[in-house]
Amino acid sequence: MGEWTPGRLISTIYRRCQRQLDRRFAEAGLDAGRGLYLYLVELARQDGTTQQDLARRLALDPASVTRSLRRLEGMGWVSRRDGADGRERRVFLSPAGRKALPSIEKVLDEWDEMAAWGLSSREREGLETLLERMAKNTEEERE
């Protein structure tokens, strides 16, 4: 069990990443810790998406998404509205959420650069390909 498997290495990188990001977001005055920044980045890609689609794209359970969106809404970074048919909730970035995005993206870009430091562009591309394949292998639909 002392062997460093891909899963253990990914878990270690994830924990280190979260600690670093939480610290950097706090330093920047962005209360976007605990993964809340993920919602803002994803909404920047597709504003007005449904809560269900957001949960699927972020690979999170719908209840967690609802709690996090409630927190982001309280912070004034997102708004939620009923869709046209009233059955689904759509999520939108607020002006404050849009204003926070450049700082969030800067912190994320710096983390990515630090984590991939010393890797050639070919190694980075290969790593991305392998991680994408691993992510596909772990999709719930495969279970």
The DSSP-derived string for 21-56 is: HHHHHHHTT---TTTHHHHHHHHHHSTTEEHHHHHH
Reading the chain (143 residues) residue by residue, the pLDDT tens digits are: 567 788 888 888 888 888 888 888 887 766 655 678 889 999 999 999 999 999 999 889 999 999 999 989 998 999 998 767 777 789 999 999 999 899 889 988 998 999 899 999 999 999 899 988 988 888 765 44
Fill in the DSSP letter of residue 59.
T
Helix, strand, coil share (%) of the chain residues, nearest 5: 65, 10, 25
Return d(Cα 32, Cα 108) in angstroms, integer.
12
Nearest to 35 by CA among 52, 59, 53, 51: 59
Choices 1.20.1290.10, 1.10.10.10, 2.60.40.420, 1.10.1060.10: CATH for 6-142: 1.10.10.10
Supply the pLDDT for residue 143. Answer: 46
Supply the pLDDT for residue 141. Answer: 54
